[in-house]
Amino acid sequence: MNILLGTLLFIICALVGFRVASKYHKKLVFIQDFKTFLDFFETNIMFTQNEISTLLNEKKTAFHNEFNLFLDGYQKNLTNVKTYLDEWTSKQNLVDKDTAELISNFMQGLGRIDSTAQLEAIRQTKESLNTHLDKTREEQKKGAMSSRLGVMAGLALFIVVL
């Protein structure tokens, strides 16, 4: 009975640790996807100048699930982008508030200004995003530690229960 209880406690602690680590990883991946998105748009504006809807559909497979969901919501609400992005920012639980606002501000102006101004907006957003990305990478290290801590706490509880 004690072995079963100890095993159960170990599994629960390990899962909690991995769940916390997963949240930090998803946040980092989302921000990296947004940076890739900015690079892609910068290249397109400089060379091909295709329509935004075409570009969004074309590039979807290059991103992870969370960012694809964001882009899908953006595309579905192209007529009412500001409302969608304000709602997305307020409900955001993946990235922090500052990062969400940075993404929202950029996406509100996407395709609504000339190419020179759009390139400048991309450059400014990328500069600001680098700070957020560095901060998120540091948080990612904490996330990795939480998974280790979950396993170690589970082992400790397993030993105590035995």
pLDDT of residue 124: 92
pLDDT of residue 35: 92
pLDDT of residue 50: 66
pLDDT in tens, 63-88: 888 888 888 888 888 788 888 888 88
pLDDT of residue 80: 85
d(CA 77, CA 26): 24
Q: Which residues of the chain have pLDDT under 50?
A: none
d(CA 67, CA 70): 5
**Contact between 49 and 115 (Cβ < 8 Å):** yes
Cβ burial, residue 89 (10 Å; 0-12/13-18/19+): middle
